[in-house]
Structure 1
């Protein structure tokens, strides 16, 4: 059987629209981005592929709704679920399989229709209780007003030995450069936060370890030779700067931790010892990615998290069981994906005003990163700041559910004047959700948008011969 895809494909159009989507996939397809996954393909590309499987020529147009009602599409290694979402929008039944559990859980959450208002009510209840338990560990005193305020994030440096002396490494002493050229930076001797000056009045010789920037070649007049400390990974980091906002003036403030701040951190470290996380459950097993961790003396995944981050995770886990399964799944995945922005593998890229507070998340380079300046986020920060639950709920769930109810596509080139004067056009009649079934026998030609999810190896799927129309 010959299908249109065998003979033609709109390559130029596919390239144009994919180039736009590639760097902002979560904006173009927010409903499929509830949880982190790797090597996601552009949804627009798979929409074009699936459109070439449509029998009616008039419905093969990229902007035409539907076209695959009654067909069964299989993706045997679904990963981020791109094929499933694009096919179900076109009216198809979909079968997705993957060896890993996260793709199955994410697809189940995002393909199941859940009332957004119900999700928002549940999230508000969850967030309020979680913030009550966790926020006290992320409080500080504003140096401008003297009022208590929430910490947005804390910047750490990593302790090492250099030429036999203790030092603290940071990516850069400069923390921020304003548009007018003024700077905020650290004193390398006393660790004070300096505003619009690089000169500090502290003695040349202090009692604190020197701060050294990444790339330092010499120290104390000799070639720099660094050695990592043989202590748990999270203990290698020491807090240097707290970033907050003045409750009165609202501007971003950088402050060195004071005695009160250090006491809160000590309390969190003490609480860590009583958290019921079994070390044996988080031992790092041998593997390709593990080889990035174990040579650095990291033997347990818990060591990648600060004490406050583990306290956050513990309380979130305690709160989740009270919710109905569909709600719990969405909130659980939200917490899980928040860990990408809440570990001691996160770095700081907020140096420029344009990216104030931006987090270099754990997998920003598709592998583990080991920053000198680590960023400990406040996951329950009340503002919609980078990597917080408030921001993630907005971008991953609220925006995703709204988009699923009325998907839209980017309009490019000559299509801009023909279809719409706007850059995006709603695809009327499409929905990005379906009904889960237990087998392909629940997928009849008379029904549409049923989905079946299978976790396990795809080498031998439990599907009747000839039960699917296309494998994509």
Structure 2
């Protein structure tokens, strides 16, 4: 069967943005539940599977046909090939396979490739569980022993605090910003809290809003700790800058409390004892005695947008992101996995171990009671040092958070079940349902070249680490190009992925995994310089145009806070022979997050940019700036009227995209004056749509 893209599609005209935004909103709150195949490992800016299913189904549904019905049907795209040149976590590939198409998943970063492979390939559950038990047998007893109290109970978490010597008087300063180290996620409802005495480190129960307390040794405790922002104050009253007192080394950390699992199922907070300190000293000695063949993180941090903060705190090597007990425990686990016989199941455990690292390092913190205990290290999208880090039990128990054993169930077993019997979120009109039976199981044979890919009978995925500006795909071989390109700035994936790669390069999860010291590559599209970003992404668009069949579509999601990013994307499309046919706003990601909370105009929507090649006779459907603006306004209004949250940043981004796309199609040079005029119209649109002043809020 040959799948042909219609001359005009629902993606360009009657895209079901409101419906997709509704199901996308539900997915966004629990991506790991609704799309677990692409949630086996951390990757940044992961898009919504529901939205990408909608993009693919709408791209193969004719203009005026029932795009909503196509999304919720068992559409069969057998014979079609869908390319994602920026594949990330593999969302496009999974959705294409579920619809019966073959998938080509390229990414320049090897960690992303590992994530994609887990998303699309099948595992034998019996073999996976057997491999897990083999690893458990090899290392768990020793890891458990290193996380025990003197009376044999399991320590779930150790609490640490960074310490510095006062530059003026040398008095030790513990960098607590508050003595409250554990409280409930809803403290007004459950006011009970745990506090630590900054002077002697004794632990006692109190309230989150206490005024003063007296510790077991008679010290008076107040709400204020020694650290405030970038400053700290010693017990003698001297204030100093924290970074200035580091003296060229990372902070020294001191254990001050632990959470222990009791035999009756309860948990208790206890102070650190000499036995705990001696056990940790044993780990320091054990680390020094590990064999040279043991897996440990390799490599040094390089300067970058997302690494500079860690470098300012004098973290220079990736192994400095872990304390001695973490390094010993994680090394035992990683070495046991590395030594398994090669198989997709071994590869899955390598990826699972790598994902566990996110919750087991010195950059994590405690979220509190009544929620998942561990706040992972990438909650801020940068490598942000913690003054009071949390050390978790890396193998874990049923009471643990972010541990290898618990993630085995919540990630790998859940992903296996999903791939075997996919479920989709569908709005039938009476509410959003989670249904099975409209998607094909996911279990692709993986190819590492075009030649081997096209020779595979049945479900296939070509998954490779490569620069998508240079591929081995023949001319006119791909039916659709669907992707989510990297940001121009902000989150630089390779800088963050190196944290995982520092371990994976030694483990070699599959044959051909990169053994380079970094995942940074020449040809990366991400670049803080708009012109360099534009050149790099243009090369990918040019290659995409070459490999696409005549009459095919390119569709990608995009959201950029800086107008220079939009200008470069639109100009790069024009230079590489593409015409923008539509800019469709749709739900992008979870509405609330730590990162969004700090944004001036937080985004809720993505723009789906739909393009055809100029050589195929495509022309932009708008005939004037006014028509382009009216089209963008109508699409945003439709979403707002459907009770989808539309904010100022969303309006600004969508209007920018629509106007710049039209102007580019007329040959206008998108210089600074044009960009300023576009921004003026975008600001007016914000006031019109949201009834607020410039930069105003949304609904």
TM-score for the superposition, normalised by structure 1: 0.88
5+ unaligned residues in a row in structure 1: which ranges? 142-146, 417-421
Of the three residues 357, 368, 378, the one matched with 1:339 is 357
Residue 272 of structure 2 is matched in structure 1 by 257
Q: Tell whether 2:478 aligns with 1:462.
A: no
Q: Deviations over 1:288-309 (max 9, x none)?
A: 3232222221111111101111
Deviation of 1:413 (Å): 6.9
Closer, same or farther: CA 391–23 of 1 in aligned 2, 3 Å: same
Partner SS for 1:189? coil
Q: Deviations over 1:231-273 (max 9, x none)?
A: 753x6111011111111x3211111111111111001111222
Residue 176 of structure 2 is matched in structure 1 by 170
Partner SS for 2:11? helix
Deviation of 1:279 (Å): 9.5
Closer, same or farther: CA 166–460 of 1 in aligned 2, 3 Å: same
Partner SS for 1:151? strand
Residue 224 of structure 1 is matched in structure 2 by 239
Residue 19 of structure 2 is matched in structure 1 by 13
Deviation of 1:196 (Å): 3.2
Residue 48 of structure 1 is matched in structure 2 by 54
Task: Provide the rounded CA distance (Å) in 2 between the counterparts of 1:156 and 1:192.
Answer: 13
Residue 349 of structure 1 is matched in structure 2 by 367
Task: Provide the rounded CA distance (Å) in 2 between the counterparts of 1:167 and 1:113.
Answer: 52
Deviation of 1:170 (Å): 2.3
Of the three residues 79, 82, 94, the one matched with 2:88 is 79
Task: Provide the rounded CA distance (Å) in 2 between the counterparts of 1:26 and 1:367.
Answer: 22
Closer, same or farther: CA 98–438 of 1 in aligned 2, 3 Å: closer
Residue 273 of structure 1 is matched in structure 2 by 288
Deviation of 1:78 (Å): 0.6
Task: Provide the rounded CA distance (Å) in 2 between the counterparts of 1:280 and 1:80.
Answer: 23
- Note if contact 1:92-1:448 (Cα within 8 Å) is conserved in structure 2: no
Of the three residues 195, 198, 206, the one matched with 1:188 is 198
Q: Tell whether 2:336 aligns with 1:326.
A: no
Partner SS for 1:255? strand
Closer, same or farther: CA 119–240 of 1 in aligned 2, 3 Å: same
Residue 66 of structure 1 is matched in structure 2 by 75
Partner SS for 2:204? strand
Q: In terms of mean alpha carbon deviation, does 49-58 or 105-114 score higher? A: 49-58
Of the three residues 156, 160, 185, the one matched with 1:156 is 160
Residue 245 of structure 1 is matched in structure 2 by 261
Closer, same or farther: CA 315–365 of 1 in aligned 2, 3 Å: same
- More relative contact order, 1 or 2 (CA 8 Å, 6+ apart): 1
Partner SS for 1:52? helix
TM-score for the superposition, normalised by structure 2: 0.61
Please show how residues 59-458 of structure 1 align to structure 2 within 5 Å.
61-141=70-150, 147-162=151-166, 164=169, 165-177=171-183, 180-196=190-206, 198-204=213-219, 212=226, 214-215=228-229, 220=235, 222=237, 224-227=239-242, 228-230=245-247, 232-233=249-250, 236-247=252-263, 249-275=264-290, 276=292, 281-320=298-337, 321-350=339-368, 353-355=369-371, 358-383=373-398, 385-412=400-427, 414-416=429-431, 423-428=433-438, 430-441=440-451, 447-458=457-468
**CA RMSD between the two structures:** 2.7
Partner SS for 2:164? strand
Task: Provide the rounded CA distance (Å) in 2 between the counterparts of 1:326 and 1:445.
Answer: 21
Deviation of 1:278 (Å): 9.9
Q: In terms of mean alpha carbon deviation, does 224-233 or 261-270 score higher? A: 224-233
Task: Provide the rounded CA distance (Å) in 2 between the counterparts of 1:358 and 1:39.
Answer: 23
Closer, same or farther: CA 29–171 of 1 in aligned 2, 3 Å: farther
- Note if contact 1:43-1:82 (Cα within 8 Å) is conserved in structure 2: yes
- Note if contact 2:297-2:318 (Cα within 8 Å) is conserved in structure 1: no
Partner SS for 2:111? helix
Deviation of 1:111 (Å): 1.3
Partner SS for 1:139? coil
Q: In terms of mean alpha carbon deviation, does 283-292 or 273-282 score higher? A: 273-282
Residue 144 of structure 1 is matched in structure 2 by none
Closer, same or farther: CA 448–7 of 1 in aligned 2, 3 Å: farther
Q: Deviations over 1:353-395 (max 9, x none)?
A: 312x611111011111222210011111222521111111111
Task: Provide the rounded CA distance (Å) in 1 between the counterparts of 2:390 and 2:249.
Answer: 17
Q: Tell me the matched-pair count.
A: 454
- Note if contact 1:189-1:205 (Cα within 8 Å) is conserved in structure 2: no
Q: Tell whether 2:26 aligns with 1:31.
A: no
